[in-house]
Amino acid sequence: MRPIPLLLFIGIMLSIFSCRSDFETVTSTGDLKFSKDTIYLDTVFSNIGSSTYRLKVYNNSKNDITIPSIKLGKGLNSKYRITVDGLQGTNGKIFNNVDLLAKDSLYIFIETTANIADAIPNDFLYTDQIQFDSGENLQNVKLVTLIQDAVFLYPKRFADGTTETLPIGNEKIDGFYLDENDPVNGNELQFTNDKPYVIYGYAAVPSNKTATFEAGTRVHFHANSGLIVANNASININGTLSTTDKLENEVIFEGDRLEPDFSDVPGQWGTIWLSDGSTNNTFNHLTIKNATIGLLIQNNDGTTVSVKNTQIYNSSNYGILAQTAKINGENIVINNAGLANLACTYGGNYSFVHSTFYNNWNSSQQVAVLVSNYILGAVPEVKDLTAATFNNCIIYGSYSNEMSLTKKTGAAFEYQFNNCLIKFDNVANQFTTNPDYQFNTDTAHYNAILLNKDPKFFNILRNKFNIDETSAAFAKGNSAYLIPFDIRGNLRVLPPDLGAYQNKTFPK
């Protein structure tokens, strides 16, 4: 006998099984098992949809079963939505006669969009349950969501369907000017800690106006959003010292995805952009998380940008990118940036004292600190770097060389490193004869440099950059550059430690 060809065999088998339109089942007896007995959907903002959460339902019996009903306890009025093995049911709320094979499982996916008014008044929780069957066979899985009220700032949408934009050079971006007399939000230039803010698009501070952020303010930026400080405009971040790890008095800028899985994802939003001609900008006790560029500072009007007690984490490009800017930085901590924690480029005037720059990005292209006097493609291409001074700082990271000094002729290139711990391994000796990296002999640019010594930070992955007495940075600072209090408000002793933290143990 000649063998049956494979494709013909498959066709025969499919035709046999296709003749069976259903299979015999028994009614569920309430013995379902679940991957969780409660689904906690992480905090959502009022009227903003949640992420999708998963529940797995198991039939561990030997029988193929039919579950008479799977539904939300609040029925069609529930603010939750579910799909059951890809089925939508009745408005994503009610499903009837769901079959489940023996020793098999099905998936339920859960989402919610709820308003603060739907929540329990005292704890702002919105709850429901997924009910399986009814009567004696009733089983349920609880659903819990914390709803947070917020102030929403976004571009206007016009009657013709277009959206408000901001002119940026020859282009336009989705954005709007903050209004001190907004009919809904009131003074949008005064950010308070009463409610968090959620910004869509770029919010711009108008010329001759100042945006002020009081201690404890929380601002969440949607994807492709940020804040622009226009020509002659100012921003003042007035955070204060916090007494707990909750940073209750810190001003915090981060993305609008509140789930734990997004807590350390870089590039969720754009940047805080101090554009050409912005003036009198101050930052104190500010934390910036998960931006593309934490602070973009371009050609401010000659006034010094003051950045103190500021933390910037997980920037997909730069923590601070400065171009022809003037910055005075004290007690700054920057960790994890795709290109550089701190980039002082296209000239300018910069001073950083008692700051910690650690880059843990997994790339051989990243550095902790980049200093240059040029920018490619600009006219002119070079500008004077009149000063780039680093005193009592730590410049370290996961790569072999964590500092880059790049210059072109035709403009000044002045830099100074005093009492700094610097990681620069000079692998393969490619920088041995480079005059800009003579750490031990060039006293005009380097004094008391600790090269490639381990700072022994407490916990890099949790951004705990404090040290103890075993650190190479312990008591190596110069009192001439002393900032009396560290980033956590601890009094520095003499001689001070390098970096933003004075030696003081606290829980890891």
**SS3 readout for 102-140:** CCEEEEEEEEECCCHHHCCCCCCEEEEEEEECCHHHCEE
**Rounded Cα gap, residues 108 and 133, in angstroms:** 15
For 154-174, what is the mean pLDDT?
A: 88
Residues 313, 463 contacting (CB under 8 angstroms) = yes
For 143-152, what is the mean pLDDT?
A: 94
Residues 107, 157 contacting (CB under 8 angstroms) = no
- Residue 7: the pLDDT is 44
**For the residues of 346-360, what is the DSSP string, one character each?**
EEEEEEEES-EEEE-
C-alpha 219 chain-centroid distance: 11
For 471-490, what is the mean pLDDT?
A: 96
- What are residue 12's phi and psi, to 5 degrees? -65, -45
Residue written as tokens 């930070």?
457
Helix, strand, or coil here: 197? Answer: strand
**Rounded Cα gap, residues 334 and 332, in angstroms:** 7
Dihedral in degrees, nearest 10, Cα atoms 237, 242, 246, 251: 0
Query: Model confidence at 508, in pLDDT bands (50, 70, 90)?
Result: very low
**For the residues of 19-53, what is the DSSP string, one character each?**
T------EE--S--EES-SEEEEEEEETT-----E
C-alpha 149 chain-centroid distance: 20
- Residue 22: the pLDDT is 55
Residues 131, 69 contacting (CB under 8 angstroms) = yes
**Rounded Cα gap, residues 455 and 466, in angstroms:** 9
Residues 109, 51 contacting (CB under 8 angstroms) = no
pLDDT digits (tens, 9 = 90+) for 95-139: 999 999 999 999 999 999 999 999 988 889 999 999 999 999 999
pLDDT digits (tens, 9 = 90+) for 384-399: 999 999 999 999 999 9
Residues 431, 404 contacting (CB under 8 angstroms) = no
E runs forming strands in 189-317: 190-191, 197-199, 202-205, 210-214, 218-221, 226-229, 234-238, 251-255, 269-274, 282-284, 286-289, 291-298, 305-315
Q: What are the C-alpha distances in Å from 156 to residues 178, 221, 277, 474? A: 12, 17, 26, 53
Q: What are the C-alpha distances in Å from 369 to residues 49, 236, 261? A: 39, 25, 29
Residues 497, 474 contacting (CB under 8 angstroms) = yes
- Residue 446: the pLDDT is 97
Q: Which two three-digit tokens encode residue 203? A: 């919010």
Residues 499, 354 contacting (CB under 8 angstroms) = yes
**Rounded Cα gap, residues 135 and 127, in angstroms:** 21
Q: Which two three-digit tokens encode residue 252? A: 């915090």
- Residue 15: the pLDDT is 46
CATH topology of domain 26-148: Immunoglobulin-like (2.60.40)
- Residue 23: the pLDDT is 59
Q: Which residues, listed in sequence order, are joined to residue 382 by a DSSP beta bridge?
A: 374
Ranges of each domain in the chain: 26-148, 151-481
Residues 89, 106 contacting (CB under 8 angstroms) = no
CB contact set of 137 (below 8 Å; sequence gap of 6+): 28, 29, 30
Whose CA is closest to 497, among 478, 508, 457?
478
Sign of the alpha-carbon dihedral angle for 257, 262, 267, 271? positive
Mean pLDDT estimate for the chain: 92
Tell me the percentage of the chain whose pLDDT exceeds 70. 95
- Cβ–Cβ contacts within 10 Å for residue 377, how many? 5
For 147-159, what is the mean pLDDT?
A: 91
pTM (two decimals): 0.88
Q: Specify the higher pLDDT residue, 57 or 261.
A: 57
- Residue 21: the pLDDT is 43
pLDDT digits (tens, 9 = 90+) for 254-277: 999 988 889 999 999 999 999 999
Q: Which two three-digit tokens encode residue 397? A: 């990271």
* Eight-state DSSP code of residue 179: -
pLDDT digits (tens, 9 = 90+) for 415-474: 999 999 999 998 878 888 899 999 999 999 999 999 999 999 999 999 999 999 999 999
- Residue 299: the pLDDT is 86
Residues 291, 313 contacting (CB under 8 angstroms) = no
- Residue 10: the pLDDT is 43
Q: Give kind and range of the element (H or E) at residue 18.
A: helix 6-18
pLDDT digits (tens, 9 = 90+) for 324-361: 999 999 999 999 999 999 999 999 999 999 999 999 99
Residues 273, 296 contacting (CB under 8 angstroms) = yes
pLDDT digits (tens, 9 = 90+) for 272-308: 999 999 999 999 999 999 999 999 999 877 899 999 9
**Rounded Cα gap, residues 439 and 423, in angstroms:** 11
- Residue 169: the pLDDT is 80
- Rank 146-160, 169-183, 306-320 by mean pLDDT and report only the highest: 306-320
